[in-house]
Amino acid sequence: MGGLPAWGALSGELVELPWLTAMSADGRGFPRKSAGLPMTLRRVAGGLIGTSLDFSEGHTSYPGVVHGGVLATVVDQLMGDVVAVQRQVLAFSVTLHVRMLSPVLVGHAYLATAQVTGDAGGVIFTAATITCAAGETYVAAKGSFRPIRVETARSVLGLSIAECERLSPYFHNEEDPEVRQQ
């Protein structure tokens, strides 16, 4: 990902996800599963988006070792959020390639960061890492994302016409020739 931010970098600006409150007139926000991953996002050095991580025994596969599926979910969600923040569009994952370099342990603090690395043919490319306080990379990931069309939001996400209208700035615009449809 080209240079990791300093460990104290999460003191950066809090990243708001405006579509979360644009969902409804009463500001209840975009529907998220209650079991989703709660992450507080911050801007960090080099244009990255980051979050602090601290796992519990409920995230393990072996005693004290965080399950790889949990780690893959973290980097997938973080890369999707960085697409939304930097490109101002909601997108679905197309590919996810995760390399587990060292076991991530319960009771230790980690930093996850992500960035957009490019785009081509309507697909947006990303990269993410999970590092420890010493800066050692434990997980490295790459992903690709395709912006969501409003029709897909209605049929797949079950959004009403009114909800789609409120969120329309964050969906693929048919008139935008640079973004292929999902």
Q: Mean pLDDT in the chain?
A: 81
pTM: 0.82
The token pair that represents 30 in the structure block: 């975009």
**What's the pLDDT tens digit per position in 139-168?**
999 999 999 888 887 788 777 787 778 778
Do the bridges between strand 42-44 and strand 65-66 make them parallel or antiparallel, or are there none, so unpaired? unpaired
CA-to-CA distance for 176 and 170, rounded, in angstroms?
Answer: 13
pLDDT reported for residue 173: 62
Q: Which CATH class is domain 11-30+39-170?
A: alpha beta
The token pair that represents 60 in the structure block: 């393990």
**Is residue 83 within 8 Å of 140, Cβ to Cβ?**
no
The DSSP code sequence of 56-109 is: -GGGEEETTEE-HHHHHHHHHHHHHHHHHHHH---EEEEEEEEEE-S--BTT-E
User: In terms of pLDDT, which residue wins out, 18 or 124?
Assistant: 124
**Is residue 131 within 8 Å of 75, Cβ to Cβ?**
no
Give residue limits of the domains in the chain.
Answer: 11-30+39-170
pLDDT reported for residue 79: 96
Going by pLDDT thresholds of 50, 70 and 90, the confidence category of residue 18 is low
Cα Rg, the chain, nearest whole Å: 17
What mean pLDDT is predicted for residues 57-72? 94
pLDDT surpassing 50 at residue 33? no
pLDDT reported for residue 162: 79
CA-to-CA distance for 58 and 64, rounded, in angstroms?
Answer: 10
pLDDT reported for residue 8: 47
